[in-house]
Structure 1
C-alpha cells in the first residue's frame, strides 16, 4: 500500500502555512518540492566537501570530483545511457536544448527541414526558430486536436527526405498529454532525421530508457524530480555528441590551448565549460536515489488515482471545462471557469493556501489554439493527497461564487 502520509514527512515545506492556511501545493509541473534527504546532501556538501572539481590534487577537490562523477553515473544508470560520457550535466532543460540547437547551426543548410509539435513549451520552440533564422532551414509544426493530442497522420505527411531534426516533448506541461514518442522516433529515423525529446515533464512520473527508445537526445531538469534548481541533463548518443561543436568556450572543455589553436576535451567535458553547479549535480543524484526508493511504478499508479479523482470532482462543478482530455495523460489538469479569468481564480486559491499555476504556462500556441488567455493548472505529485484535492474543489467553488 502506498503510504502517502509517511512520504509527506520527508518534505518539510508541506507542513508550512500560507496565508494562515495549510499549504496545498499543486504547482508540481513548474517545480517539485525537495525532500529532506536531498536537502541533507546539499548541506553536507557545503559543510564538508566544497571545492572545485577535476583540477585539484588536494583531498577536498578529489572528494568533490568523486561525488560529482558518481552522480553522473547515477543519472546514466537511471536513464540507461550506454556510456557515462553521454550524460552532459547542464543548468537544466533550456540549457540542454540550446546546446543542441547551437551545435546544429553548423550542420544545417538552407532548405533543410526541422519539425516541432504544437504542444511544445517555449523552450522547445524558440531555440529552433533561432536555428532556422541562422541557417535558412524551414520549421514545420505537427498540429494538435481538440483533445490536446498530436495528429500523427499529419506528422507522417510532414516527414520528407529534407527532414533533419524532430523535437517533441514527452509530456505536455500545459495539458499533461503523453505523446507517442516511440512512434515519432521510429518514423523520424526512417527518413534519417535525429530526434530530441524534451523530458522535463516526464521524468517526475516515468523512468525513460533512452537506449530502448533509441532517441538521439533526451533532456531533463532536476528540479522537476525532487532535485535542486539550476541543474539538468542532456543525454546524447555518443556519435551525435562527437559531431556537435562545443557550445561554450572556457576552462574544463579544452585539451590544449595556445594562441594559435585550441583543441577540445573529450566527452563529456567538451560541453561542460567553466565551474559547474557541483552541489546541484550531486544533489541531482540524491534526488534520483530518492525517487527510485519510492518507486516509479508506485508513483505512476498513485498519481493516476489522483488524476482520476480530481477530474471527476472538478467536472462536477457547473461551468468548469478541462483542456487536454487525452486518454493517455499524466497528473496535470488545466481548466477554466466559464466567464472568469484564470488569474482571478488563482489569486483566490492562493488566499486559501492553494498553489496552482495560471496563465499560458510558456505554451502560448496551445492557448491560441483553444482561443483562451490561459488556464488554471493543477499538477499533482506523489506526495499530494485526495484531501488536498477536496480543498482545491471547495476553493474553486468559492472562487466561482465570489467572481460570478
Structure 2
C-alpha cells in the first residue's frame, strides 16, 4: 500500500523547496517530487551562476499580475530581510550588485545546498527523478499518478514553474493540473526576454550588434482602465536579431505585440535643443558631434537610418531636420516583430489566475488542500531578484498554512 503524506509538493525548485522546508519544520510529513534528476537547475544557472537570490527593495510595485494586489500579503509576511537572515545563518557570503540586487559571492550551488539542508532538517522525503502524470482528488485526499507507484497525500502543492527555458525541463504540468480542477489560467507568454526586429527599417541597425548603453525605455499608456505602462532606465544591448540587455528584458514584460517601445538613447540631454544651440559656434560634422555622446557606430547608424550623412556639417542643417534627428534619439519609437520566446525568457508571464487562490495561504478557493506557488501563478517580478523573492514568500505562505 502506498505511503500517505501530509503534503506532496510537485516541483523541487526555489518555491517547492522553500515550501517543503517550512512545512516539514512544522512537523508535517512532506514528500518533494520532481521529474529532473538534478536539483534546482534554474537556481544553478541564475545570475550567471551566482544566483541573484533576492532584491532588498522588493515590494508589490515590482510585480505584474492581472490581480496586482494579490502578492502583497505573502511578500509582507516573508521579506527580503527574512531570506537574508537564512542566508546569514548558513554563512553564505553575498554582495549587492545593482539597485538592491543581492548575489552570492561564490556560487548559486550554496543556495541550493542551503535549501536542501533546510529540507533535511525537517525530514523531507524526496522522489527524484519522478514524472507526474496527473493529480486527482477523492474523499481520502489526493492521488498523484507517476511513472512509479502512486503518491497519496492530504495536501498537494504545485510548484512546477512556468514554460521558460525548456532545455532545463520546463513543462506545462502545473497548468494542466489547474485545468483539471477547473481553475482559470491567465494566458501565458514569455517574460524578461530579448525582443526581435526585422524588415528594411531595421537593416541599418543590424551591424550594431554588441553595442551597449544606458537608456530610458517606455511602452504602453497610462490612460484607460486597464492601461499597462512600463518605464525603466537600464542598459540596452544591440544583438544580431534585435535588442536585449536589462532595459529590454524589463520592458518586454509590459510590451504588447504590435505596439511600439520608445527609447531615449540620451536621457540626460535634449538633443535637438543642444544641436540647434550649437549651430552658430560649432562647425563640426554631425557624425563627429554625435560620436561625442554615443558610440560611433550607433551615431552613424542613427544618421543613415534617418536619411542623413555623417559628414554633413552642423551649420548647414535646417532646424527642422535637427528636431527630427533629436526625436530619433530622444523618442525612438520602434515596433518589435516578436521576442526570442520561451527558450530565452527568464520567466513566464501569466499562469494560474490568482483570483482562484487565497492570498493568505495560496490554496485554491474551491479545491481545499490544493496549493499553487511560485512561477506557476500569475505573479511575475521584474528582473533583479524579485522572482526569487516571490518564490520564497509564496512557498513560505503555503508551507505555514498546510494542515
Same topology, TM > 0.5: no
Q: Please identify which structure carries the higher strand content.
A: 2
Taking structure 2 as the reference length, the TM-score comes to 0.24
Q: Please identify which structure carries the higher helix content.
A: 1
Taking structure 1 as the reference length, the TM-score comes to 0.24
Tell which structure's C-alpha radius of gyration is larger: 2
